[in-house]
Amino acid sequence: MQGLSVLGATGSIGFNTLDIVRRHPDKYRVISLSANQRVAQMHQLCLEFKPQTVVMVDSQAAEQLKLKLMESGDHQIQVLQGQQALIALVREPQVDIVMAAIVGASGLLPTLEAVKADKKVLLANKEALVTSGQIFIDALHDSNATLLPIDSEHNAIFQCLPKPMQKGIGSAHIKDNGISKVLLTGSGGPFRTLPLEQFNAITPAQACAHPNWDMGRKISVDSATMMNKGLEFIEAKWLFNLSPDDIQVVLHPQSTIHSMVQYKDGSVIAQMGNPDMRTPIAHAMAYPQRIDAGVEPFDFFRCQNFEFGEADFERYPNLKLAIEACRAGQGACTALNAANEVAVEAFLQEQIKFTDIACINADVMQQFKDTDIDCIDGVLQLDSQARHAAVVLVETIKERI
């Protein structure tokens, strides 16, 4: 029986993780759950999974949850609030596995803490690695933690790698393992064929309606701009110790292949399946074993198209920015991620247009790209400065609209 802590339990990844737990009560026990604000959803999860501790980062939400738990007669569950409680949560000795599924840079400190506490860390929160890169990988190497990728592409790449590379996350060399390239696939999102002159009028509802995947709102917008693929490009660099030239983005609208590894001898190994996050989650939770994830088996006779193409940077300027950031260094990556979080939120609040996201990101990245970062405080400081610069740009655009 493994003890599990789910950070971001009320989100899309949290929900899918708890579905795997539901299917395997003999293997996993929920020790703790965390969320930001969604009280009603967390209350339901408490009733079902009976965790020992819950952290609501928002203090009002924590008070409301306490009341609800009293009303429903659950006096055993400890409810805490704030970032510090989140960090303490992952250190608990009963916790073996930490699912890091908070959205955005807010996930960085608790995820890093889980690594330092030698846990088996399942990384969905790609922003943690994007914002802190080498610092995160160094912490991993200084610990006895195991890091397993949850992002479907990185989980697919992991599955296509030979054992020495799987064991050497962040440090093994592809060249020592006969690998020539990592092929990162992406669907191209909902606007792959939309005429470019219509991009100005894209609404949040349209951007959040991904053709293949059901995800949280921030990552859905990132998928529509392909910033998500850009963040994944940076994530792949750190997870698999790659240089930007080792990674190729391949458009694959059907999302059947979740990514591939190309070997020196011409072999290409792909991981495929239906687009359902329970597959990578179950893979990482049970690794190196395999367990049922409740996912429909893939039916090749119903698969009519299998298309591939190149990503067009005019359509996806955010992808271009992220690849440039990956080449430029940590300052550019941290600043770009922060700007993007602010810009996406402003777009979701209908304060700016879809096309403004890339303009804000480019401007902020340019301002901070030469900043040197060598510690977590440096990451947090740049994150906050870049957010401030992005907010200023959002305000300017709002005045114009």
Q: Which does 99 bind (CB under 5 to 8 A by kind): ligand NAD, Mg ion, none?
A: none
CA distance 109 to 162: 31
Other C-beta atoms within 10 Å of 84: how many? 12
Q: Is 13 in the site for ligand NAD (CB under 6 A)?
A: yes
Query: Which residue from 32, 125, 271, 361 is in contact with ligand NAD, where contact means CB under 6 A?
Result: 125
353: three-class secondary structure by DSSP: coil
184: three-class secondary structure by DSSP: strand
Which amino acid, 389? A
Nearest distance from residue 239's CB to Mg ion, in Å?
A: 12
Q: Is 8 in the site for ligand NAD (CB under 6 A)?
A: yes
Query: What angle, 0 to 180 degrees and rounded to 10, lies between the N-to-C axes of helices 126-141 and 330-348?
Result: 150
CA distance 132 to 231: 12
Q: Based on CB atoms, which residue is closest to ligand NAD, 15 or 179? A: 15
H/E run at residue 136: helix 126-141
Q: Based on CB atoms, which residue is closest to Mg ion, 151 or 356? A: 151
Nearest distance from residue 180's CB to ligand NAD, in Å?
A: 26
Q: Is 282 in the site for ligand NAD (CB under 6 A)?
A: no
Nearest distance from residue 213's CB to ligand NAD, in Å?
A: 5
Query: Which residue from 6, 9, 119, 151 is in contact with Mg ion, where contact means CB under 5 A?
Result: 151
Residues in the chain: 401
Q: Based on CB atoms, which residue is closest to ligand NAD, 179 or 283? A: 283
Scanning 73-81, 121-129, 343-351, 371-379 for contacts with ligand NAD by CB under 6 A, the matching segment is: 121-129
Q: Which does 319 bind (CB under 5 to 8 A by kind): ligand NAD, Mg ion, none?
A: none
Side-chain half-sphere exposure of 260, counting CA atoms within 13 A: 21
Scanning 89-97, 152-160, 314-322, 390-398 for contacts with Mg ion by CB under 5 A, the matching segment is: 152-160
Which amino acid, 68? K
Q: Is 65 in the site for ligand NAD (CB under 6 A)?
A: no
DSSP β-bridge partners for residue 28: 2
Other C-beta atoms within 10 Å of 279: how many? 24
CA distance 134 to 330: 8
CA distance 107 to 124: 10
Pair 137, 170: CB distance under 8 Å = yes
Nearest distance from residue 217's CB to Mg ion, in Å?
A: 15
Q: Is 36 in the site for ligand NAD (CB under 6 A)?
A: yes
Q: Which does 81 bind (CB under 5 to 8 A by kind): Mg ion, ligand NAD, none?
A: none
Scanning 2-10, 112-120, 291-299, 329-337 for contacts with ligand NAD by CB under 6 A, the matching segment is: 2-10
Q: Could you tell me which of 396, 194, 203, 149 has the C-alpha nearest to residue 312?
A: 194
Q: Residues interacting with ligand NAD, by CB under 6 A?
A: 8-14, 35-36, 38, 57, 101-103, 106, 124-127, 151, 213, 215-216, 218-219, 277
What residue ranges bind Mg ion (CB under 5 A)? 151-153
